[in-house]
């Protein structure tokens, strides 16, 4: 069964450093997403991406964040200058919507720890 | 008011029992509804989509009540492996998922 993959599984970084989180969506999906989950809190939407551009982003997704699809398979999330409060699980998801239904499939996540 | 609200539980039930819980959503324009399950420190996994007429998938039954803006999930004949956090998820015309904080279910032997 096809699945979304993410690397690395765990990233530790110093405050102020740049990090790039990587995702390989399901191959025939055209919509891609990033979500985050701070420990003990709910999953929060960050950004959606379609046709090589951002289709929607949340208030969390400020100028420190960017996304890119550098080739035909990878989808990346970059945080330019990490803050302590960026520590969270970051989940990538992909989907191929059918009408109103958009079943999104999640990768295993990257645990980001900012020290 | 939160966009999606769930009873956090926990619901502690013996194997074989039936457990049911609800979720309410605030936006009457919401279009699509899902239940995901999340195991500790893992990714959300799609359990089932929720359709207007209600739907069943094996031991799981989901209902949607648009008038009262709530979604329910019922698990019959609970198994130990059903222990997880169940996430209620809602979308509008956009494709972003809005998650509830989850309902924790623990099935004991």
| Mean pLDDT value across chain A | 94
Residue A100 pLDDT greater than 70, yes or no: no
Contact A26, A4 (CB under 8 A): yes
Chain-chain contact of B31 with A56 (C-beta, under 8 angstroms) = no
Residue B14 pLDDT greater than 80, yes or no: yes
Chain-chain contact of A41 with B91 (C-beta, under 8 angstroms) = no
From residue B78, give the alpha-carbon distance in Å to each of A17, A85, B13, B44, B60. Answer: 46, 38, 8, 20, 10
Residues B18-33 have pLDDT tens digits of 999 999 999 998 888 9
Among residues A44, A101, A90, the alpha carbon closest in space to that of A67 is found at: A90
Chain-chain contact of A55 with B101 (C-beta, under 8 angstroms) = no
- Give the residue on B whose Cα is nearest the Cα of A109: B43
Query: How far is Cα B74 from Cα B61, in angstroms, rounded to an integer?
Result: 5
Residue B96 pLDDT greater than 70, yes or no: yes
Chain-chain contact of B99 with A33 (C-beta, under 8 angstroms) = no
Distance from A11 to chain B by nearest Cα, in Å?
A: 15
According to DSSP, residue A73 is labeled: S
H or E stretch covering A101: none
Find chain B residues with C-beta within 8 A of A41's C-beta: 101
Q: What is the pLDDT of residue B39?
A: 96
Chain-chain contact of A106 with B43 (C-beta, under 8 angstroms) = yes
Query: Two tokens at A53?
Result: 């551009």
Contact A90, A34 (CB under 8 A): yes
Chain-chain contact of A42 with B49 (C-beta, under 8 angstroms) = no
Residues A23-54 have pLDDT tens digits of 999 998 989 999 999 999 999 999 999 989 99
Residue A97 pLDDT greater than 80, yes or no: no
Query: How far is Cα B6 from Cα B29, in angstroms, rounded to an integer?
Result: 19
Contact B47, B32 (CB under 8 A): no
The DSSP bridge pattern shows strands B45-50 and B19-25 to be unpaired
Residues A65-94 have pLDDT tens digits of 999 998 878 999 999 999 999 999 999 999
Q: Please list, in sequence order, all residues whose beta carbon lies within 8 angstroms of the beta carbon of residue B7, skipping any fewer than 6 positions away.
A: B21, B22, B103
Residue A99 pLDDT greater than 90, yes or no: no
Q: Please list, in sequence order, all residues whose beta carbon lies within 8 angstroms of the beta carbon of residue A65, skipping any fewer than 6 positions away.
A: A46, A47, A77, A78, A79, A80
Query: What proportion of chain A, given as a percentage, has pLDDT over 90?
Result: 83
Query: How far is Cα B85 from Cα B69, in angstroms, rounded to an integer?
Result: 21
Find chain B residues with C-beta within 8 A of A56's C-beta: 94-96
Find chain B residues with C-beta within 8 A of A97's C-beta: 95
Residue A10 pLDDT greater than 70, yes or no: yes
Q: What is the pLDDT of residue B53?
A: 84
Per DSSP, helices labelled H in chain B are: none
């Amino acid at each position: 069964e096809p699945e979304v993959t993410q690397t690395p599984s765990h990233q530790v970084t110093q405050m102020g450093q740049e990090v790039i989180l990587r995702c390989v969506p399901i191959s025939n999906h055209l919509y891609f997403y990033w979500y985050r989950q701070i420990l003990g809190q709910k999953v929060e939407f960050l950004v959606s991406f379609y046709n090589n551009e951002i289709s929607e982003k949340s208030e969390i997704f400020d100028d420190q964040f960017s996304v890119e699809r550098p080739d035909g398979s990878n989808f990346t999330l970059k945080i330019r200058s990490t803050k302590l409060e960026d520590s969270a699980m970051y989940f990538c998801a992909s989907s191929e919507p059918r009408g109103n239904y958009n079943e999104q499939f999640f990768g295993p996540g990257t645990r980001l720890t900012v020290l | 008011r939160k966009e999606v609200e769930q009873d956090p539980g926990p619901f502690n039930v013996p194997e074989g029992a039936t457990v049911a819980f609800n979720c309410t959503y605030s936006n009457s324009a919401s279009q699509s509804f899902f239940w995901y399950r999340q195991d500790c420190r893992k990714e959300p996994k799609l359990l089932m989509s929720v359709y207007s007429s209600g739907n069943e998938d094996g031991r799981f039954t989901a209902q949607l009540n648009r008038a009262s803006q709530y979604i329910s999930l019922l698990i019959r004949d609970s198994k130990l492996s059903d222990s997880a956090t169940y996430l209620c998820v809602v979308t509008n015309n956009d494709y972003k998922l809005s998650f509830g904080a989850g309902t924790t279910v623990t099935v004991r032997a």
